[in-house]
Amino acid sequence: MRIRLVSRQGEMALGLLFSRAMTDAASVVLEMVYRYRQLCGRCEAGLGLDMDEVMEITAIESRFSCTAGGEWSDQRQFSRTPVTLSGRLSSRRFNDPIQVTDLGPGGMVIADAPYLERGDTVEIAVGQKAGCFRFVAEVAWIREDGPSTRTGLSLRGIPLLLRQAPKAIAAPAPAPAKAPGHPRRGTALPAAA
């Protein structure tokens, strides 16, 4: 999925900013939400955006715009996209696995969350090939659907993307083998000839 925008500097691609190998639609939505929240955070911090970034944020907003008459269109700024992403919810009381079932620039819906209360602040970490996306969110609503519970979260602040180090950097080098008769092992060194 590529969206092309024409700007003064030429064409720019939106969406697959971090990993062109990611073809999964849920991963693309995740990256777009991350990028939107990142750009909004820069604006809120007073850092501003260049024209390409303004066009990028506008394209993301139009991609997730609520259509008139749709479900929740009168209460929600952005639509949500159904996704299936595994993640982890962390708070003062919990550090549990969850499933993200809906995702949009304004928030997400999670399933199988531990008991939360409306207004709780939590951190959601979702790992993908590009790295681990971390979002801070506030619990907006909780619904019990039979045996499972769905929780609506409103995203807050600027998310983080923790990129995974290449294997050559991440794996420590093997320790050199110690020669027999090493003094730390309690054996005597062979006599010098």
The burial of 173, by beta-carbon neighbours within 10 Å (0-12 exposed, 13-18 middle, 19 or more buried), is given as exposed
Question: Three-state SS for 158?
Answer: strand
* Count of other CB atoms within 10 angstroms of residue 11: 9
The model's pLDDT over 14-58, given as tens digits with 9 standing for 90+, comes to 333 333 434 488 889 999 999 999 999 998 888 888 999 999 999
Q: Are 32 and 61 in contact (CB under 8 A)?
A: no
Q: Give the angle subtended at the CA of 27 by the CAs of 23 and 33, to the nearest 5°.
A: 135
Rounded Cα distance, 71 and 175, in Å: 60
The model's pLDDT over 141-191, given as tens digits with 9 standing for 90+, comes to 999 877 888 999 999 999 999 886 555 444 455 555 655 555 555 555 556
Q: Are 101 and 109 in contact (CB under 8 A)?
A: yes
- pTM score of the predicted model: 0.69
Q: Tokens 């390409």 identify what position?
A: 52
3-state helix, strand and coil shares in percent for the chain, rounded to the nearest 5: 20, 40, 40
pLDDT of residue 79: 81
Q: Which of 2, 34, 180 shows the shortest CA–CA distance to 108?
A: 34
Q: Tokens 């519970």 identify what position?
A: 149
Q: Establish how many alpha carbons lie within 13 A of residue 134's alpha carbon, considering only the half-sphere containing its beta carbon.
A: 9
